[in-house]
Structure 1
Amino acid sequence: MASPMIDSHHHFWDPASGGDYGWLSGPFEPLNRKFEPGDLRPALQANDVSGTVLVQTWNDLGETWDFIETAANTDFVAGVVGWVDLTDPHVADTLAELQQSPNGKWLVGIRHLIQTESDPNWLLRDDVRRGLQAVQDAGLVYDLVPNLPQLPSAIKTTETFPELRFVLDHISKPNIKNREYDEWAELMQGFRSERRHVWCKLSGMITEADWQNWTPGDLRPYVDHVLEIFGPDRCMFGTDWPVCLVAGGYDDVIGVLRECLPDLTARQREQIFGGSAIEAYKLPGFQS
């Protein structure tokens, strides 16, 4: 029997809610509308996706509370990566309150939009490290979402916390459109010794490519490099829907990733398309 297919990275949002969605302008203007479970469900059904991981969209605790309620009321949301203020001295209490709430089991990870911080070494601050320790003590995953400037501090953080599970989002967002590869590829090697407790999402790639003209061949060198570092057992599929819609549909994201994985065994593909997300996030409802 095939393993369940899990989309490890997608979002919901409502710009009218007052959240920090100023980036939904310019080329992203087509996404400046409400996206909710009913919008995603047809694509999941068409592609036999069994479950998803709903990921924070801005640094707001209220969204985290809303998202775990959404998970409780949505049959396909298998887990939530939310936000808490890692710098808050009482962050451990906040995590405990979330986890002990009626919908607390759906919180599987924490993320902070570190690329919005002016300090590329934000993760290395003492108050942030205290917060990361609280995430580890709570048994949660920490999602890393660096751009190239934050990548060295992200690697250092995984070295500092060998018992904390990390997931690297969007293969660290290399500039695929301009074929900027060498510096990214060299920095990514830093994760090689940490792969025991770090997973990497094969997600967000078409958005970093030429939106109108990308091909599987544009993405393949980046996918190959990530696989060489992490191995199929530490890589996972994610669509980054609805952000991906500026460059391609849900089916396109799945199709191009499959085209970039021609040499893997059936078991390795099942690991990438579901097993890794279940293992990393310990998704409720999918644990054996």
Structure 2
Amino acid sequence: MPLSKPRNGNRLMGESTTNHPDFSDVHMTRRGFVKGTVAVGASAMAESVTAAPSPKKDPIPIIDCHIHLFDGSRPQGAPYVGPGGDSPTTALPADYRKLAVPLGITGAIKVEASPWVEDNLWALQVMQPDDMMLGLVGNLRPEKPDFAELLVRHAKNPLFRGIRYGSLWGYDLPRMVEDDVFLKGMRLMTDLDLSLDVANPSVRLMEAVVRLNQKLPDLRIIIDHLPRLERTVANQTTYGNVLKDLHDRTNVYVKLSGVIHHIAGKIVKDLEIHRPNLDRLIEIFGDDRILFGSDWPNSDRAAPLDEVVGIAKEYFADKPRELQEKYFWKNSLAAYKWKPREDQQER
């Protein structure tokens, strides 16, 4: 209803101001009616605005940048079959999809959990039929003579997005960053637009990341599970220094994964205990270099997948939507250069 406007002061047009026995009563009654109409109209409009539902925002899709696949039932078995306990010894795309889709996860990057070269091909084969699988971080050794041939061959598959090398399977990244053959392999990685995941973070490993970035600033490096690295009296100075050094290294990303983890021998699920560390890591790496990863099913040793996703959602719930989108999916595109395989991934 349009609002009435007073005209000629408080007088209605055409009314006389001569003495009329009923003028005062009539004038006040009609003026009161107009005011009442205005008040009712304004109130109705206010109620309409208040009652109008806020625009519904689409849920933010999630790209899980760290899952593992394996099959301990194969004739040759598998070198890694999960964390034990109630966790299954077979983890395949269909198993993950069943758990992930209800949580809003639309795609996943598989990070190799096997040092066997042939398992790169096995992983690509089991991932290919499932469009939820967006990429493989494989396992090849840059210091080996056949690395270049194997890398080029695997990179022809668009699902192959890089390799993992760190402090596992006897690999020693801090030592290898000074090796010319290793660095030649890393240059080939850069030429092929692939990324390097570094595993099992420690201060020593992160210092190696800094040195590698100094030598090859165009190589995308992704530090896995950094929230698990706790500051101690012994490492707090060196850890603080290496974090400062990583602040401006724009091609070094970090997975804010492993949020629920053991502290002093106890699994800690309380977000408020983890919040200061998460705040600090985002301050160091910025909005554009943080990634979500679940570490499923290795994460089962700490919490089921729904709780792993839940604590990440809880932490980011009060953050701007733009930051949430960067963490949960947009930054994964920059880090891994994956290609969409399903319509909901096109966004």
> Pairwise mapping of residues 185-196 of structure 1 onto structure 2 (< 5 A)?
185-194=240-249, 196=250
2:129 aligned partner:
73
Q: Is the aligned partner of 1:227 residue 2:286?
A: no
CA contact under 8 A between 2:291 and 2:329: conserved in structure 1? Answer: yes
Q: Give 1:46 shift.
A: 0.8
Q: Is the aligned partner of 1:112 residue 2:165?
A: yes
Q: Go from structure 1 to structure 2 and tell me whether the alpha carbon gap of 1:126 and 1:173 turns closer, same or farther (over 3 Å shift).
A: farther
> Pairwise mapping of residues 120-131 of structure 1 onto structure 2 (< 5 A)?
121-124=174-177, 125-131=179-185
Q: Is the aligned partner of 1:5 residue 2:62?
A: yes
CA contact under 8 A between 1:91 and 1:134: conserved in structure 2? Answer: no
SS of aligned partner of 1:95: helix
Q: Which structure has greater helix proportion?
A: 1
SS of aligned partner of 1:233: coil
- The alignment yields a C-alpha RMSD, in angstroms, of 2.5
Distance 1:180 1:273 in 2: 33
Q: Give 1:167 shift.
A: 1.1
Q: Give 1:220 shift.
A: 1.2
Q: Give 1:159 shift.
A: 2.0
> Pairwise mapping of residues 207-222 of structure 1 onto structure 2 (< 5 A)?
207-209=261-263, 212-222=267-277
Q: Is the aligned partner of 1:267 residue 2:336?
A: no
Q: Give 1:241 shift.
A: 0.5
Q: Mean Cα displacement is larger for which, 253-262 or 83-92?
A: 253-262
Q: Give 1:84 shift.
A: 1.0
1:200 aligned partner:
254
**Which string of whole-angstrom CA distances, capped at 9 and with x for unpartnered residues, describes residues 45-95 of structure 1?**
111211000110022221111112222111210111111121123322211
CA contact under 8 A between 2:258 and 2:294: conserved in structure 1? Answer: yes
Question: Equivalent of 1:144, from 172, 176, 198?
Answer: 198
SS of aligned partner of 2:316: coil
CA contact under 8 A between 1:5 and 1:273: conserved in structure 2? Answer: yes
Q: Give 1:11 shift.
A: 0.5
After TM superposition, the runs of 4+ consecutive aligned structure 1 residues lying more than 6 A away are 178-181
Distance 1:227 1:212 in 2: 23
Q: TM-score, normalised by structure 1?
A: 0.87
Q: Is the aligned partner of 1:132 residue 2:191?
A: no
Q: TM-score, normalised by structure 2?
A: 0.73
Q: Is the aligned partner of 1:280 residue 2:339?
A: no
SS of aligned partner of 2:253: strand
Tell me the number of residue pairs that the alignment of Structure 1 and Structure 2 aligns: 280
CA contact under 8 A between 1:7 and 1:237: conserved in structure 2? Answer: yes
Distance 2:165 2:171 in 1: 13
Tell me the amino acid that sits aligned with residue 138 of structure 1: L
Any unmatched runs of 5+ in structure 2?
A: 1-57
Q: Give 1:127 shift.
A: 2.4
Q: Give 1:29 shift.
A: 4.2
Distance 2:305 2:282 in 1: 22
Question: Equivalent of 2:120, from 55, 59, 64?
Answer: 64
Q: Is the aligned partner of 1:236 residue 2:295?
A: no
SS of aligned partner of 1:31: coil
SS of aligned partner of 1:203: coil
Q: Percent identity?
A: 23
Q: Is the aligned partner of 1:52 residue 2:108?
A: yes
Q: Give 1:262 shift.
A: 4.8
SS of aligned partner of 2:152: helix
CA contact under 8 A between 2:257 and 2:293: conserved in structure 1? Answer: yes
Question: Equivalent of 2:302, from 238, 244, 247?
Answer: 247
Tell me the amino acid that sits aligned with residue 175 of structure 2: W
